Amino acid sequence: MTARVGPPSLLFVGGASPLPSSVHLATEMLTQARARGIETHLVNKAEVLESTREVCELADAVHALDPDRPEDCVRWARDRAAEGLHFDAVLGLRDPVQFSAAELTGVFGAAGNPVDAVRRVRNKDACREALAAAGFRQPSVWLCSDLDDAARALRESAGPWVVKPRDGLGSIGVRLVTGPEDLARAVDELPTQDPFLVEEFVTGPEFSVEGVFVGGGAKVLAITAKEKLPPPYFVELGHVLPAELPEETRKEIDQEVTAALDALDLRFGVFHVELWLTQDGVVLGEVHARPGGDWLHRLLTYAIPGLEFFGPVFDDLLGRPPGPLPVATRAAAVRFLAPPPGRLLRIDGWERVASHPAVLYAGLFVEPGGVIRPVRDSGDRAGVVVVGAETPARALELAAELARSVEFEVEPADGA
């Protein structure tokens, strides 16, 4: 057998979306790969490549290909493999591209997550079933095709419940249901007519776990505490990292999450796992084989000095002996702005917030003349402030304080 000649190579499936957080994350990943001599090829839709040029310029090669169409990706990969192109690893950083990344992993015989594992975690009910079968606490869930199915689920359980898409993101179409009178509206607000889920509502504070896979096993980097707007919607308003938890609870979460990822057969890249702390212990939520959104990667790299988020993954790929992962010695928080709905007339105080020395990133998603909608999913939030501080309590306090100092003057408007 002839050894392959050339540097190690990575196929980056899906690149970045035009969102600033996605561009920043992809930039970090490609920069850390390049620093280790890894050759990178990026595939994404032609129109997205055009709008994310700063990301494309960091890759060694760019290919126009729709990463949301696994069948097209497989045909492209087989043609490239027949031409002698090879990749040592395949990685995607966004949920919609995980199927394609897994398929390409198989075509190239590369390091990556298996297709069955990705399919399992992308379908929330399948993931629930797999985790429950493996002995992990899970909320009850019903797969429904229509309103009648959903009404049947309500009759079979005590409630309250959550209606959500089977495969969704950004809290789109996720709504609390407290009784039959709420159900029709929740179903109407789903983004598609596809089968959907009715899930048992879990009571308890929510957290997420951020980490990497090294040597085929999951390693926790940090636990994040999250805050959401009041129901009936479940939009995240803020995060603080690391979460202030007793050491015993931290160990319990670490053990539960790493064991669950092993049971689900995820083994490559980075992960983001959501969970609740209940009276009975940890109840696992959604599992993602990609980084958390909402600038969580920036919270990580500030709170853990010296951390290169993708560094341990790439060093492992290169066969470098794993060293101890750095730990959090500082803290960071993110706060989203959710002003009253209406037509925006004026914003006061933003310049002062954006120039604050503790701010790591600040961005507005609205401008005067535009309409601020009621916050029903992540895309309805009006802005974001990311801060660093010495302690979680101070980071949380500062982020909230800065967010409150921004004043939005609005007037009634259609569509708000």
What pLDDT is attached to residue 1? 33
Domain boundaries 332-411, CATH class: alpha beta
Strand ranges, E, within 97-234: 141-144, 161-165, 175-177, 196-200, 206-214, 217-228
Residues composing the chain: 416
What pLDDT is attached to residue 171? 79
Asked, colleague to colleague, whether 204-329 and 332-411 share their fold, the answer is yes
What are the residues whose beta carbons fall under 8 Å from the beta carbon of 404, sequence distance 6 or more? Answer: none
CA distance 250 to 56: 39
Stretch 255-279: mean pLDDT: 97
Supply the CATH classification number for the domain 204-329: 3.30.470.20
Categorize the per-residue pLDDT at 399 as very low, low, confident or very high, splitting at 50, 70 and 90. very high
Categorize the per-residue pLDDT at 6 as very low, low, confident or very high, splitting at 50, 70 and 90. low
What pTM does this model have? 0.94
Half-sphere exposure (Cβ direction) of 397: Cα atoms closer than 13 Å: 6
Categorize the per-residue pLDDT at 3 as very low, low, confident or very high, splitting at 50, 70 and 90. very low
CA dihedral 199, 204, 210, 211 (to 10 degrees): -90
Among the ranges given (78-92, 160-174, 311-325), the one the predictor scored with the smallest mean pLDDT: 160-174
Domain boundaries 9-112, CATH class: alpha beta
CB atoms within 10 A of CB 77: 24
Is residue 414 predicted with pLDDT exceeding 80?
Answer: no
Question: Tokens 């540097």 correspond to what residue?
Answer: 7
CA distance 314 to 8: 10
Report the candidate in 388, 398, 214, 369 with the shortest Cα–Cα distance to residue 300.
388
pLDDT, one tens digit per residue, over 128-146 is 999 999 999 999 999 999 9
Share of the chain above pLDDT 90, in %: 92
Among the ranges given (7-16, 58-67, 291-300, 407-416), the one the predictor scored with the smallest mean pLDDT: 407-416
Is residue 2 predicted with pLDDT exceeding 50?
Answer: no
What pLDDT is attached to residue 170? 74
Distances (CA, A) of 161 to 138, 152, 188, 319, 393: 14, 12, 16, 47, 32
Categorize the per-residue pLDDT at 154 as very low, low, confident or very high, splitting at 50, 70 and 90. very high
Categorize the per-residue pLDDT at 5 as very low, low, confident or very high, splitting at 50, 70 and 90. low
Is residue 62 predicted with pLDDT exceeding 70?
Answer: yes
Categorize the per-residue pLDDT at 113 as very low, low, confident or very high, splitting at 50, 70 and 90. very high
Domain ranges of the chain: 9-112, 140-200, 204-329, 332-411
Burial 290-316 (b: 16+ CB within 10 A, else e): bbbbbbbbbbbbbbbeebbbbbbbbbb
CATH fourth-level superfamily of 140-200: ATP-grasp fold, A domain (3.30.1490.20)
Q: Which residue has the higher pLDDT, 334 or 230?
A: 334
